[in-house]
Amino acid sequence: MEKITTGNSDIHDQSPYGRVYANDLALKDMAAKPRLGFTVGAAIVRERLSEADSPKPNLIAAMVKGKKGSNPKANDWEFLILDGSATRILHREKRGVCVECHSSQRSGDFVFGGDYGSEPGRR
């Protein structure tokens, strides 16, 4: 199994490549102005590529909105890392580094990005 470090260098900062995808629920919530928070089942996925022109991601970071009360510390989000083909969950957490950093975006319900639907690939 690939070793996963969940420090910032491994997830986003040193590896700026990759697209962000969101399911329909998440897209709708993201487009709302002001953003009121995400619906149960909303999912946002961020690919991580090792090189800008890699055909496939080597890791996928994801956040999924759980039932109300499932993770009060993080507005009920769960954070996951999947392998590049999204067949295996390598890591999941309800609190920890993902949550810590994403909690700086509390006013946007822990989500950094804007309307990914209208700007595919925006980081």
What does the binding site for ligand HEC look like in residue numbers (CB under 6 A)? 6, 8, 11-12, 20, 44-46, 61-63, 79-81, 97-98, 101-102, 111-113, 123
Residues 6 or more apart whose Cβ sits within 8 Å of residue 33: none
Residue 12 CB, shortest distance to ligand HEC, in Å, is: 4
Judged by CB, which is closer to ligand HEC: 44, or 49? 44
Residue 28 CB, shortest distance to ligand HEC, in Å, is: 15
Judged by CB, which is closer to ligand HEC: 68, or 123? 123
